[in-house]
Amino acid sequence: MSSNLFHGTLPPSLLQHLADAGAGGSLTSFNVSNNSFTGHIPTSLCSNHSSSSSLRFLDYSSNDFIGTIQPGLGACSNLERFRAGSNSLSGPLPGDIFNAVALTEISLPLNKLNGTIGEGIVNLANLTVLELYSNNFTGPIPSDIGKLSKLERLLLHANNITGTLPTSLMDCANLVMLDVRLNLLEGDLSALNFSGLLRLTALDLGNNSFTGILPPTLYACKSLKAVRLASNHFEGQISPDILGLQSLAFLSISTNHLSNVTGALKLLMELKNLSTLMLSQNFFNEMMPDDANITNPDGFQKIQVLALGGCNFTGQIPRWLVNLKKLEVLDLSYNQISGSIPPWLNTLPELFYIDLSFNRLTGIFPTELTRLPALTSQQAYDEVERTYLELPLFANANNVSQMQYNQISNLPPAIYLGNNSLNGSIPIEIGKLKVLHQLDLSNNKFSGNIPAEISNLINLEKLYLSGNQLSGEIPVSLKSLHFLSAFSVAYNNLQGPIPTGGQFDTFSSSSFEGNLQLCGSVVQRSCLPQQGTTARGHRSNKKLIIGFSIAACFGTVSFISVLIVWIISKRRINPGGDTDKVELESISVSSYSGVHPEVDKEASLVVLFPNKTNEIKDLTIFEILKATENFSQANIIGCGGFGLVYKATLPNGTTVAIKKLSGDLGLMEREFKAEVEALSTAQHENLVALQGYCVHEGVRLLIYTYMENGSLDYWLHEKADGPSQLDWPTRLKIAQGASCGLAYMHQICEPHIVHRDIKSSNILLDEKFEAHVADFGLARLILPYQTHVTTELVGTLGYIPPEYGQAWVATLRGDVYSFGVVMLELLSGRRPVDVSKPKMSRELVAWVQQMRSEGKQDQVFDPLLRGKGFEEEMQQVLDAACMCVNQNPFKRPSIREVVEWLKNVGSSKPQMNKD
């Protein structure tokens, strides 16, 4: 019964039937994991038949079970594995579970369990796996835990466990992984004898309050590959005995009180397999070791991550770094390093992340830095070794709810040089860094103009130039940076009009403050006619945009790396706080909501449209403010090109989604109201219903029906167990429903609507997993009453039809292409562009076409769907999808034809003209 769409409580009649089967010896396994079952976990399968129960495997994980685990499990005399992680269970461990002495595995992570672990756990002498992480357990680790001599995996991290590591733990000679990170443990570990843990490969003691020197006997654990001791109170020096750990690949001792950095680096250079080394926030006020002290040219030959930030080092950037040819990430931030940035950094072929911020660096931005191979060549960046970390990096080491990252490549290609004393102009050669995602040059002494060549950085997401002495105008070409989500040129000497359009319509006034000669609506200073952009500037900008759009359609390889940052929030190692962490940077949202908090409670009545889904009778702007907590960032549930989407629970208990449109949408208020009211007539069971709108002091809000299950993108690509819960019938139903919604837009509603941005994140799912197309018609708010929509960039990377690189027109056939990509997502479970795949299979459409040409179309299907008896149906849908993504738009079917084909899947093979 696992990995389905079951919900509600488990029927008592089913449980009684299974209990009877258990009594007869026929029930050995009961697995309901990865569903949406609610209520309490039933233990009756054991309680009535303790003497004859044959049940060996019980899995309730990844559901919505609540409450305490009731007694009864102890009666399952032959139960070997019990799993109930990822639920909302609370209360203590049931005492009788310690009577199930056959248990080899207890896995209950990611719940709300509390109380102490209890000494009774040591009765389970056969236990090999104990996973209780991410709960609320308190008290000490059981003092006699060493009696669990077969224990291999002990994962207790992210609780509130106190005390110290019990000495008996050292008797668990079969331990392979021990993780107690993020607890309240303390004590001097140097008295513990780790030398008996010869099988131990991963040890994580981070984020506790351990003291003393690093445990000397730890160096006897020859199998260790990963050690995290970060964020404790260890002191002293790294012992030469560490050279016994020649298998060690990951070492983090950040945020402690170690000394003698020169001695530490000399020793660690001898560990031939070391690839990740994080020593930040130690060695306070020492000198950065120079070439005279570090003389081993063969050291650190496998090092990929080197973090030495936050140590207050003096000295200069050492030249011995030039020997680290595998180096990908270098963090020397938050020190007192002086001198200039060495030009030889560009000889490090795999370096894509440099953080030299918060130092005392002087001199110019070396043009040599613009020739870093992994930042100038997409091919070079793609060939950087994609290493999986033995222990993950965490978004915030002190917050269990944050994400973890298992690959170095999850970090964005970035250069951080902020808060130094660099001077001179920003070189025009900076436009060569086309792989770059983030650039921070803030709070230096740069002067001259902002180079228009920055607009060549087509992957750029964050650009910080504030706090310098820059002059001239903001290049209008920067608005062609369609992925730019954070931008600041505040506190310079800039002048002229602030560009509008593109991402510039999403930036607040704080991005431009401190430049008194800048003008534009965002800073509430009007521009004189002579301050406008010249016709020549317009022509130049159009060329840049055209070039970018063509690259988006035909040169997708140059965009692939941005997808990681598009999907995963932005990260950076930050020695200013907990250095053994990756700091998430979310999309910048201005604290100014756009609606004054003191708005009249009776003012601005919201216009509501009558339709069968609308349960709201009346509504005011004040009630919207209250429901969204004045458009608090905590209530954001979506972000798109047209603005942010907020979840709001209204006074009558109805939950709605409120889209706050961003930027100047080009319509006067009267025109806007007329257009929105026209859109409200587009009503179909497979469209997200527009329930109302409000215009108040220039802020424009659209109110939609809230979709309980979020987007198709979330279920296919974001939710850990999402794909396994979407079986083929459900995926086919989603495709059928979405096609019907799109067909209504294209052929029935008047005037016809071109969506222009069909993608899995714009297909929302209700509580029954029925598909609803979202964001339809919003493009018409830019140019109303047109069935073609002319924009600077149409669509989303991976879904963009090839012809959009040749013309500025979004068409019905373009929508069909994008929908074909969505069908391929449903069939394969893959993203349209996936950097984690081998180079030849990163682009979904091209890969599918290659597989079909080689007669390997069966390999296209999601492994979770294979062997379930739906191969013929999936083949029919694959044929339809490939017709939709035909390179020639005139050979694509109409959406009405697609609807008919999908409707007939499974009953009779759709008749398709494949010519």
Answer positive or negative: Cα dihedral of 251, 256, 259, 261: positive
| Residue 209, C-beta contacts closer than 8 angstroms, at least 6 positions apart | 184, 185, 186, 232, 233
Q: Per-residue DSSP letters for 399-434?
A: -TTS-EEEEGGGSPPEEE--SSEEEEEPPGGGGG-T
CB atoms within 10 A of CB 816: 25
The strand pair at 360-363 and 66-67 is best described as unpaired
Distance of CA 846 to the CA centre of its chain: 25
Between CA 709 and CA 766 the distance in angstroms is 5
Q: What amino acid occupies position 41?
A: I
Give the burial class of 604: count Cβ atoms within 10 A of its Cβ; 0-12 exposed, 13-18 middle, 19 or more buried. buried
Structure tokens at 378: 């997409």
**Angle at 71 (CA atoms; ends 69, 74), nearest 5 degrees:** 110
Structure tokens at 579: 């250095």
- Give the residue carrying structure tokens 């040599």: 368
Query: Are the beta carbons of 480 and 456 closer than 8 angstroms?
Result: no
End-to-end CA distance of the chain: 43
- Give the residue carrying structure tokens 């191969």: 871
Nearest Cα to Cα of residue 43 among 62, 68, 21, 25: 68
Between CA 262 and CA 246 the distance in angstroms is 20
**Angle at 717 (CA atoms; ends 580, 712), nearest 5 degrees:** 140
- SS3 letters across 686-739: CECCEEEEEEECCEEEEEEECCCCCEHHHHHHHCCCHHHHCCHHHHHHHHHHHH
- Within 237-383, strands assigned E span 250-252, 257-258, 276-278, 305-307, 329-331, 338-339, 353-355, 360-363
Q: State the alpha helices, DSSP H only, in 271-406.
A: 373-376, 378-382
Which position among 713, 757, 862, 879 bears the catalytic label?
Answer: 757
Between CA 461 and CA 578 the distance in angstroms is 25
Longest dimension (CA), the chain: 92
Nearest-10 Cα torsion for 645, 650, 656, 658: -30
CB atoms within 10 A of CB 473: 19
Between CA 865 and CA 850 the distance in angstroms is 21
Structure tokens at 246: 């020649």
CA atoms within 13 A on the CB side of 265: 28
Question: Per the annotation, does 868 bind a ligand?
Answer: no
- Give the residue carrying structure tokens 């301050």: 531
Question: SS3 breakdown of the chain: % helix, strand, coil, rounded to 5?
Answer: 30, 20, 50
The H or E element spanning position 233 is: strand 233-236
The SS3 assignment for 267 reads helix
505 is catalytic: no
What own/partner pairs with CB < 8 Å and gap ≥ 24 does 506-511 have? 506/662, 506/663, 507/588, 508/588, 508/590, 508/592, 510/590, 511/487
CA atoms within 13 A on the CB side of 104: 6
Q: Which residue ranges make up the annotated binding site for ATP?
A: 660
Q: Which residues are annotated as a binding site?
A: 660
- Any idea which residues carry the catalytic annotation? 757
